[in-house]
Chain A
């Protein structure tokens, strides 16, 4: 039981390049999330998904797209990377709960640098 895994662990991009971050969970959770964490800003929700084939915007969605084609996977895409997207990205998943957000299980993070 691996929990939540993220690929890659580290990445350096040049401005304007694109990339996809992959998140996988083996807990059969309905909900999945992408957060970014920056010094002094805390964790901020980018996008989330309440089930296979559905996605929704979080607090800071601009510049990112997501897809949830399979229940266990949640992909975060950067179409044209900008230095402001330099951050640590965390994926999380949770079971279905009242108000939709039970305890969340986080992955180890992806450290992205955009130069």
Chain B
């Protein structure tokens, strides 16, 4: 069956270091992969989208890689700050045979804590 996994439920990192979050998927070839940030009590906020033909994408201190051979995306936050503490979700479009359509499927998220 198709699965999407974010390897760590929680990740603690020292301020100023680079945080690296992992998203793996199995039995599927998505056209693109998205990353979202979610703060407690709030809805997810879109951060970055990377397509299958793109190896890397950057936005300010954020960098996403997409390795379709390894079936893995890495999400990096450089020079991390306490304000980066949040839960980060990856999502990819998966074909759902029961629905007969592609649907965006979310991982369970990784809770990042940046320690001052």
**Residues on A facing B (Cβ under 8 Å):** 4, 33, 40-45, 48, 56-59, 90, 92, 98-109
Contact = CB atoms under 8 A, between A and B. Distances in A.
Contact of B34 (A90, A103, A108): A103
B99 A90 contact: no
A108 B42 CA distance: 5
Nearest to A42: B108
Contact of A108 (B43, B96, B103, B104): B43
Contacts, number: 62
A33 B101 CA distance: 14
B43 A99 contact: no
Interface of B: 31-32, 34, 36, 41-46, 49, 89, 93, 96, 98-99, 101-109
Contacts of B103: 45, 48, 58-59, 101
Contacts of B36: 104
Query: Main SS of the interface on chain B?
Result: strand
Contact of B42 (A33, A40, A92, A109): A109
B93 A90 contact: no
Given A56-B99, A58-B99, A99-B31, A45 B104 contact: yes
Contact of A43 (B31, B46, B89, B99): B89
24 contacts: A41-B108, A42-B109, A44-B106, A45-B104, A48-B103, A57-B99, A58-B96, A58-B103, A59-B96, A90-B44, A92-B43, A98-B31, A99-B93, A100-B93, A100-B101, A101-B103, A103-B49, A104-B34, A104-B36, A105-B46, A106-B43, A107-B43, A108-B42, A109-B42
A106 B44 contact: yes
B99 A42 contact: no
A58 B105 CA distance: 10
